[in-house]
Structure 1
């Protein structure tokens, strides 16, 4: 890829670590979204995989969400729907994987990055983690990731997030509402806890863990249709002249 990467490493004990990165604060253009979805599916289907760890590169931002450059390049509803469907693909890949997906969050997450956290089955973070849904500030809305967030934190907390598009909510807020499950002072402490937690699951019955995953996601089967319907809303709204103006202003800051 010209910019950004997604890579998978499977350890001898069966931990598939999927790492993504992008120079623009780990933002996600469509190519990276497609590759992330493909690698999640591939890792889940690999005979050696027992557990998936999803993480981003670096020590700063976890994920800045949608690529501003690609949002600005959207010129028709079809292209807009295709772009936002990339987030739907990743969420559905996590949802339908037979393997549990553990999230590792070292820093801030915006928009689609918050959706990634919500889609993970279990998340650990540092105290530097914070979440923001900025979509309303650019006249769009967090439509594709809404079901994942509503499922994880409830409609009240999702409303608070989505209607405060310029505010970062800190790690303790996310912990108290169930978006993440553990918070640590440093990356080193988080990584130690992640390693220990993953290790504790490696020798457990794969049949039991798969059945548990299916139970955790019960009632979401319609997401294979719903998330793409939501993507059409975002794709249409992204065409607005005012949305483009606001995006250019934000990009210039």
Structure 2
């Protein structure tokens, strides 16, 4: 996978994605979003990939927003299309991926950058990180799912406060309100993400995917309980279920294969 704006590597069943536009604080331009869409699709269909760590290059920014210059002259219709394509191909694609995505937030996560982190299933922030949705300072609102996902994570009152004031929060405050799962010193950031994925890698891959699908269903306009019931039933048809039960009975570690 050769990209102009991303550095990607698969190592020990983990796909590492680094947004590599450090001089622009890793801002999301069209080309970067196109490349992200491609690598997200790759992760979903590649059995070797058991989880994904998404981060930004350097020590200043995860992603400091979208590239405003690209859409400064857009019409309303063009703005709608920008949001729809971004949501469908990148942000929703991450959330709906069968592979677990962890955002390793290594600095500023602002605007589209915070929306990208919120689309991931788990967020870990370095202790120097600052997070916010400053779109109203430009006369805009978040357009990549930010109004929805921030509300899901922190509740209506806090979400409206953060969006309406455009104030940033520190990593410690973000953890306190449920916006991130963990805060660690910056040198430990990737290691913490790997620690979580190394535990996940020991579990049944199809069950992990089914669990993600069921949790996400609870947030969308579908019957999450029905999704869970169906996914639960399908797990009984997998070789991994039989292996898990046999390993439990035989008091040994299960060897899951994703089948």
Give the secondary structure class of the aligned counterpart of 2:60: coil
Moved more, 145-154 or 156-165: 145-154
Moved more, 208-217 or 139-148: 139-148
Q: Which runs of 4+ in 1 moved over 4 A?
A: 220-223
Q: Return the structure number with greater relative CO, CA threshold 8 A, min gap 6.
A: 1
Match of 1:31 in 2: 31
Which stretches in structure 1 are left out of the alignment for 5+ residues? 224-253
Q: How does 1:8-19 map to 2 (within 5 A)?
A: 8-11=8-11, 13-19=12-18
In the TM superposition, what is the alpha-carbon distance from 1:221 to its structure 2 partner? 4.7
**Paired residues of 1:107 and 1:128 also in contact (CA < 8 A):** yes
Q: CA RMSD in A?
A: 2.0
- The reply on whether 1:87 has 2:104 as its aligned counterpart is no
Give the secondary structure class of the aligned counterpart of 1:217: helix
- Structure having the higher Rg: 2
**Paired residues of 2:127 and 2:186 also in contact (CA < 8 A):** no
- The reply on whether 1:154 has 2:137 as its aligned counterpart is no
CA separation in 2, counterparts of 1:130 and 1:62?
A: 10
Give the secondary structure class of the aligned counterpart of 2:155: helix
**Paired residues of 1:33 and 1:86 also in contact (CA < 8 A):** no
Moved more, 144-153 or 51-60: 144-153
* Aligned residue pair count: 217
Give the secondary structure class of the aligned counterpart of 2:19: strand
**Paired residues of 1:54 and 1:103 also in contact (CA < 8 A):** yes
**Paired residues of 2:128 and 2:186 also in contact (CA < 8 A):** no
In the TM superposition, what is the alpha-carbon distance from 1:151 to its structure 2 partner? 1.8
CA separation in 2, counterparts of 1:43 and 1:8?
A: 11
TM-score (norm 1): 0.79
- The reply on whether 1:170 has 2:170 as its aligned counterpart is yes
Give the secondary structure class of the aligned counterpart of 2:61: coil
Which stretches in structure 2 are left out of the alignment for 5+ residues? 223-259
Cα–Cα, structure 1 residues 191 and 7, in superposed 2: closer, same or farther, change >3 Å? closer
Match of 2:72 in 1: 72
**Paired residues of 1:102 and 1:123 also in contact (CA < 8 A):** yes
